[in-house]
Amino acid sequence: MAPAKYQDVANELRRRIATRQFPPGASLPSESVIAATFNCKRDTVRAAIAELVREGLLCTARGRTASVKAPLDKATVALPAGAEVNARPATRPEAEAHGWSPGLPVFEISLPGLPALIYPAEAYTLTTPTD
């Protein structure tokens, strides 16, 4: 099943933020300009921007174009011995439970006999103990 158009727009805006075409603090073009760029409706652009706001990449204010947030200071998670890490997109139920966008990159950390822990990749760095 193909992703919804707003997800295509969100993915491209996310890519442009990651590659610093839209650096921290920069304003995005207007909704009208983005809609023309992607040959879509402004409602589609609004949905894409709302997703990126939920992910913490953009901020909005009434009457102003969306702007790119400064990168977060990431928290560090020290992995215990025997931990297994899986990097994957958040499932819809996980996203709904945590207020994330479905598909947000997450780290899933598993230890034998314990429930898996899930961390949003944008906010955490993983380290291993050094002996």
Q: Integer distance in angstroms from the first to the last C-alpha of the chain?
A: 47
The pLDDT of residue 74 is: 79
Confidence of residue 62 (pLDDT cuts 50, 70, 90): confident
Mean pLDDT comparison of 74-78, 95-99, 110-114, 121-125, highest-scoring range = 110-114
Contact 116, 84 (CB under 8 A): no
Distance separating alpha carbons of residues 51 and 53, to the nearest angstrom: 5
Q: Which of 105, 102, 121, 94 is nearest to 3 (CA)?
A: 102
Q: What would the mean pLDDT of 64-91 be, rounded to a whole number?
A: 86
Q: Tell me the whole-structure pTM to 2 decimals.
A: 0.57
CA torsion, points 80, 81, 83, 87, in degrees to nearest 10? 70
* 33-37, 39-43, 120-124: least confident range: 120-124
- In this predicted structure, what is the pLDDT of residue 84? 93
> What φ, ψ does residue 126 adopt, rounded to 5°?
-100, 140
What pLDDT shows up at residue 4? 86
pLDDT by residue (tens digit) across 90-104? Answer: 888 887 887 777 778
85 to 2, 59, 80, 117, 120: CA distances (angstroms): 28, 31, 11, 10, 13
Q: Are 106 and 121 spatial neighbours (Cβ–Cβ below 8 Å)?
A: yes
Q: Is the pLDDT of residue 121 over 90?
A: no
DSSP state of 105: E
Do residues 11 and 5 touch, judged by C-beta distance below 8 A?
A: no
Q: Say what the pLDDT of residue 24 is.
A: 86
Whether the predicted pLDDT of 131 surpasses 60: no
Question: Per-residue confidence at 72, pLDDT binned at 50, 70, 90?
Answer: low
